[in-house]
Amino acid sequence: MLNRRWWDVAAIAVASILVLFTLADPPPYGPNDWGVWATTGAFLVFYYAYARAHVGIDRLGPHLVVTIGFAVLVGVGAAFEPSFAIIQVFVYPFIWTTAPSIRSALVSNVLIGAALAAGYVVHFGPSGIVAGVISAAVSVGFSIALGLWISNIARYGEERGRLLEELQATQGQLAAMHRDAGVVEERARLAREIHDTIAQSLTGLVMVAQRTGTRLDGIEGEAAASAHADVELMEQMAREALTEARGLVASLAPVEPGAGLGDALARLAASFERETGVVVTVATSATGLSREHEVVLLRSAQEGLANVRKHASARHAAVTVESVGDEVVLTVSDDGVGPGAAAPGSSGFGLTGIRDRTSLVGGSFTIEPGDGGGTVLRVGVPRADAAADPATPDSSTPAGRGAPDAGGRVSRPTTEETP
């Protein structure tokens, strides 16, 4: 009971009962009555001036002051009038509430009981020793028994609260894992659908355009030449669309949940090299990354290589991950034609998707021409062991839409999942 208002009510109620007990006797009132009133007033002053401010503050120093103050008041009050022992119904619970430990509470109980026995002896003389000891022993024993019982209940409640928090945290983790698994499954399904439908249809369209062009080669005339040009244009457009579809399948392809960032980047590079003929080297040396930050870097690498596929006309590309100060930096570079005027928001979704991902985790993003030509894409995220993540996005939230990739083509923003 840490609400001070209830303690205020209890203090006033106990003080009122003490005063009413003395007023119950007919006047004239003697020195003992005045002593009880003065001690009751001192009790209220001490409570409001000092003890009340330390409710809920479990420190040994203030607790000792409160214990000594109440012990003196109990002893003095009992010396004037033994019925002043009623104040124990307030003092003992207050001692247990403000005690920093069970040991200090037990010592305080004994001290207050000793003060009560001393008050009885002062009031009754030597004949009051037995009554004082018995009264003090009963009150202290009851207080200790009740205090230990309530303390065990409170400790049990705290343990239940801790277990409940752990259960809720575990449920949240399971929900996130199920959500991530759903995202991975959906990405795999989309990749299969695109590969089995759009990509296959475009492959068939390329083959039909090639066959039609071959048939038109033996036909002369202006109409045949115009038709031949149209067929070549159809073939070129189909090939470009097929390249886009294959790039989309590669970017959607999920990575095994148990794979680390280095393994995921190596498989990504191998697949990219096999499909495009562009030689990709991978070097990873950074540590201290959270799983979510690994996802950000992996998706950024996928988007960077997608831009190399579509716009760079490169022969070589490099993907590196290294620690730079308090950041882990991913660099995707190539020896192609360079980024030109590409910037987030100018012509597509790719670069803006990377920018939004990194901003959500407090990272950085730049794209610029390389020193020897080509393009250099850099993405930095905070190290998990250097500082707390400022804002972590939900693992199922898309990185956001946005804007352009390096060549003005539209690429689909990727979705977070565990790499």
Q: How far is CA 97 from the centre of its chain?
A: 33
Query: Crossing angle, helix 291-307 and helix 350-360, to 10 degrees?
Result: 160
Domain co-membership, 286 together with 228: no
CA distance 353 to 350: 5
Q: How many domains does the chain have?
A: 2
Domain co-membership, 144 together with 232: yes
Domain co-membership, 275 together with 304: yes
Instruction: Please identify, among 253, 284, 317, the residue that sits at the C-terminal boundary of a domain.
Output: 253
CA distance 408 to 388: 36
Domain co-membership, 194 together with 300: no
Domain co-membership, 190 together with 231: yes
Residue 32 burial (C-beta neighbours within 10 Å; 0-12, 13-18, 19+)? middle
The predicted model scores a pTM of 0.45
Ordered per-residue pLDDT tens for the chain, 419 residues:
567 888 889 999 999 998 888 887 777 888 888 998 999 999 999 999 998 888 877 788 888 999 999 999 999 999 998 888 889 989 999 988 888 888 888 999 999 999 999 999 998 888 888 888 998 899 889 888 988 888 888 788 889 989 999 999 889 888 888 887 787 788 778 877 887 788 788 888 888 888 888 887 778 778 878 888 888 888 888 887 877 777 677 666 665 545 578 888 888 888 888 878 889 999 988 776 777 788 888 888 888 888 888 776 888 999 999 988 888 999 999 988 877 655 554 445 567 878 888 888 888 888 888 887 888 999 999 887 654 444 434 433 333 333 333 333 333 333 334 33
Domain co-membership, 383 together with 269: yes
The pLDDT value given to residue 251: 63
Instruction: Give the chain's largest Cα–Cα span.
Output: 139
CA distance 397 to 298: 16
Instruction: Please identify, among 253, 285, 302, the residue that sits at the C-terminal boundary of a domain.
Output: 253
SS3 breakdown of the chain: % helix, strand, coil, rounded to 5?
65, 10, 25
Domain co-membership, 414 together with 324: yes
Length of the chain: 419
The pLDDT value given to residue 273: 86
- Nearest Cα neighbor of 316 from 247, 373, 249, 263 is 373
The pLDDT value given to residue 408: 34
Domain co-membership, 361 together with 229: no
For residue 84, the enclosing domain spans 1-253
The pLDDT value given to residue 399: 36
- Nearest Cα neighbor of 409 from 351, 367, 370, 362 is 351
Query: Crossing angle, helix 291-307 and helix 222-252, to 10 degrees?
Result: 170
Domain co-membership, 193 together with 244: yes
Instruction: Please identify, among 253, 277, 295, the residue that sits at the C-terminal boundary of a domain.
Output: 253
The domain spanning residue 369 has which CATH number? 3.30.565.10
User: Which residues is 379 bridged to in the sheet?
Assistant: 330, 365
Domain co-membership, 185 together with 276: no
Domain co-membership, 202 together with 340: no
Domain co-membership, 267 together with 239: no
Q: DSSP string of 230-276? A: HHHHHHHHHHHHHHHHHHHHHHH----TT--HHHHHHHHHHHHHHHH
The pLDDT value given to residue 258: 54
Strand residue runs (E) in 285-411: 316-324, 327-334, 364-369, 375-382
